[in-house]
Amino acid sequence: MTAALRFGGKNALVTGGGGGIGSAVCRKLASEGARVFVADASGEHANAVVAKLRASGAEAEALIFDLTSAEACRDSVAQVERDHGAIDVLVNNAGAMRRGALLDTSEADWDLSFQVNVNALFHMCRAVLPGMIASGGGAIVNTASQWGMTPAPGHIAYNVTKAAVVSFTKSLARDYAPSKVRVNAVCPGEIHTPMLERGIAEKGKTVADLDAMVPFGRIGKPEEVAALIAFLASSDAEYICGACVEITGAQAVA
């Protein structure tokens, strides 16, 4: 099977689809034939991605809803299934980063981190799994983080929630592999996204400063993470289930 046909006739839902990595994932899956559902809390961002996908000839729809609401997740998935059939690929990519060591982290930031980074996966997978199982299987790819494998200093809420994503991924894979639902995760290091640019600006650093810390010579691109996600979601990775794959340019957590 050629790469261009890997997702022909398949429905793919990407949360955080209006963001840096999420929009790259949407473009990649659409370029390989998927009907893409761009899920985001921001209608402006989701609709902008959909407009570009449609301009390229792809099938795409925006789904605007609050991932922290179990009801909204169920209703959005039900809408897709009612209109287009089961979701074949779910990419849980939406995330929130709140910086700070424990004494610098508010209860609100801690709660939000779990709501977006962990609870949303619970809600989305519960909504999508019955349809996947009934249709004979599917693929779920979660966006964790290198920091979920090895924690970075000063980011306790993000580290802990992304470690939970790693555990969630492995647990879900063990439970639903018999139903031919493959669950994997990507664990990116520093990736050049708008969120990263905002973070380094707050610290008075530049992208060049980060590039110098990576053995490969530069930080990653959203398109490179998207390519890995597409591989894990495709039939090329048919026997990969329960994997959490780091994509870091060999950069260690400092």
Enzyme catalytic residues: 158
Looking only at Cα atoms, what is the longest distance across the chain? 53
- Contacts of residue 87, defined as CB under 8 A and 6 or more positions apart, other chains included, come to 11, 12, 13, 37, 77, 80, 81, 128, 131, 132, 138
Distance, in Å, from the CA atom of 165 to the CA atom of 159, rounded to the nearest integer, reads 10
Dihedrals phi, psi of 182, to nearest 5 degrees: -95, 130
Query: Two tokens at 219?
Result: 């930080």
Pair 187, 225: CB distance under 8 Å: no
Nearest CA among 98, 70, 89 for reference residue 25: 89
107 exposure class (CB count in 10 Å sphere: 0-12, 13-18, 19+): exposed
